[in-house]
Amino acid sequence: MATTRLMPLHVGKGRDVSTAIADIIDYVENPQKTDFGKFIYGYECDTRTADAEFLLSKRQYANLTGRNRGADDVIAYHLRQAFKPGEVTPEEANRIGRELALKLTKGNHAFVVCTHVDKHHVHNHIIINSTTLDCQKKFRNFWGSTWAIRRMNDKLCLEHGLSIVENPKPSRNHYGTWMGSQKQPSHQEQLRWAIDAALEEKPKDFEELLKKLEAAGIEVNQERKYLRFRLSPEDRYTRCDTLKGDYTEQAIKERIAGTRTVKPRRTSHQKPVSKVGLLVDIEAVVRSGKGPGYERWAKVFNLKQLSQAVIWLKEHGDMSYEDLQKKSDAATASFNALSVQIKELESQMAANGELQKQIVNYAKTRAVYVEYRKAGYSKKFRAAHEAEILLHQAAKKYFDELGITKLPSVKSLREEYAGLLEQKRKAYSSYKQARADMKELYNVRANVDYLLNVSTIEQLSLIHISEPTRRS
């Protein structure tokens, strides 16, 4: 009798990706459970540094694809395989686990097979990296994967003369259970959010909007008759016209041109909109051929924005123009400083990630290079192990260029990376607020300039905006 279960692994609360991967691998590689590491096997990874290699592949995936799924991302898959007590040896169980993992992944994913012998029944824990070896795609679980894996497992067990469960009882839970009570929004809904976000950046035309969508990680395809989008290479394309309503190609073009207004969608995913907007250039609108209806709307809109600017000044203590100018300049300076800080943190994180990569490559290829040296740098040996030797030499050169004489541990580098990441998160939170403040102050200042109708800062600084005198 042999049973299997596939479980998607997530980061979880209070952890980062590095910690989550390290925790699960540390558990399955427990020396007390694997006869002190005797029954541990790694496919396309070193079992000693598997957590670091898994993490590096995910960073390379993010860099190559620009995609980051967030908290719901599956970082790895945990495949549990149990056997009938006394029916299989640990060595045989480990071999069957390897075969099952290879069949499931088709050799495209790194994995670790750990056979536990501390219980009365021998069982395998298989940790599969969700990212492919080329760091271009991710393992895509599918509806009915439980049954498919069970069939693979049953076939392998029969080939090895082991018993199977003839009539397994189906689980009450389904594939979507791991997502919790709140289901993942549909692809169409996510595309609508992305389009709304791109439109908020005021693209000048439809082509610029498509570029903004691509920059946000949306794949745009214009090869066929109908425009198509998709969130990732693993997903199917969605035709733009199937989004319907305000999200068809024609509707989007009308929204860009300003001839179509859309009611705000009830969703928490929308970006906060500034209370004070910029004025519409009515003269330019008239010259562009807009009708009298749009002109009337623009006049009402401008009056509302001017009122909002005055209200904003009143809410901030009857602020003078000079104070408004200083506050606006300070907000801009704060935004620029945070931008520089975030770029510096990203640079440090990239350097940290590269160092981890080189350390892993160095550790993986060290044994081969030692043999190469013992062989007297034999050309024949080099030809047979050229890839490993080149990786080792490249890593050594990298260390020499940095002046590193003693390699830091991967664990300390992961901790340093986690610290940098936390700093970036905090800085980015402040960055978003600073950007919103700068935008709002810019809009207020521009509208006040128009309201006061003055041309020089010297004149503006002499004016104090006070509350209008109320008639009795």
Lowest-confidence segment of 29-43, 138-152, 403-417, 444-458 by average pLDDT: 444-458
| Res. 455: pLDDT tops 50 | no
User: Residue 168: its pLDDT value, please?
Assistant: 55
| Res. 462: pLDDT tops 80 | no
Confidence of residue 268 (pLDDT cuts 50, 70, 90): very low
d(CA 354, CA 349): 9
Q: Name the most confidently modeled range: 176-180, 275-279, 356-360, 427-431.
A: 356-360
Sign of CA dihedral 152, 141, 102, 5: negative
Confidence of residue 114 (pLDDT cuts 50, 70, 90): very high
pLDDT exceeding 90 applies to what percent of the chain? Answer: 23
Lowest-confidence segment of 118-132, 224-238, 325-339, 349-363 by average pLDDT: 224-238
Span 355-362, average pLDDT: 91
Give the containing element (helix H, strand E) for 210. helix 206-215
| Res. 32: pLDDT tops 50 | yes
User: Residue 67: its pLDDT value, please?
Assistant: 82
Q: Interhelix angle for 206-215 vs 249-257, to 10°?
A: 110
User: Residue 264: its pLDDT value, please?
Assistant: 60
Which residue type sits at 142? F
d(CA 212, CA 273): 18
User: Residue 209: its pLDDT value, please?
Assistant: 87
How big is the chain by its Cα radius of gyration, in Å? Answer: 30
Check residue 316 and report its DSSP letter. Answer: T
User: Residue 234: its pLDDT value, please?
Assistant: 60
Give the containing element (helix H, strand E) for 221. strand 219-221
| Res. 144: pLDDT tops 80 | no
Confidence of residue 129 (pLDDT cuts 50, 70, 90): very high
Spans of all domains in the chain: 2-172, 184-265, 272-467
Beta strands in 117-172 (DSSP E): 123-132
| Res. 175: pLDDT tops 60 | no
User: Residue 464: its pLDDT value, please?
Assistant: 44
Give per-residue pLDDT as tens, 204-216: 889 888 888 876 6
Span 433-462, average pLDDT: 70
Span 23-35, average pLDDT: 86
Give per-residue pLDDT as tens, 283-299: 776 777 777 777 777 78
| Res. 396: pLDDT tops 90 | yes
Lowest-confidence segment of 10-14, 15-19, 391-395 by average pLDDT: 10-14
**What Å distances lie between residue 208 and 173, 188, 201, 203, 254, CA to CA?**
45, 21, 10, 6, 14
Span 66-85, average pLDDT: 84
Query: Considering the chain, what is the average pLDDT of its residues?
Result: 81
For residues 24 and 76, the answer to whether their CB atoms sit within 8 Å is yes
User: Residue 273: its pLDDT value, please?
Assistant: 44
User: Residue 272: its pLDDT value, please?
Assistant: 42
Q: Name the most confidently modeled range: 264-278, 285-299, 385-399.
A: 385-399
Structure tokens given for 357:
């990569």
Confidence of residue 371 (pLDDT cuts 50, 70, 90): very high
For residues 309 and 447, the answer to whether their CB atoms sit within 8 Å is yes
* Fold designation for 2-172: BirA Bifunctional Protein; domain 2 (3.30.930)
Give per-residue pLDDT as tens, 190-248: 888 888 888 887 888 898 888 888 766 688 888 888 888 887 666 788 888 888 788 88
pLDDT: which is higher, 263 or 32: 32
pTM, entire model: 0.40
| Res. 68: pLDDT tops 80 | no
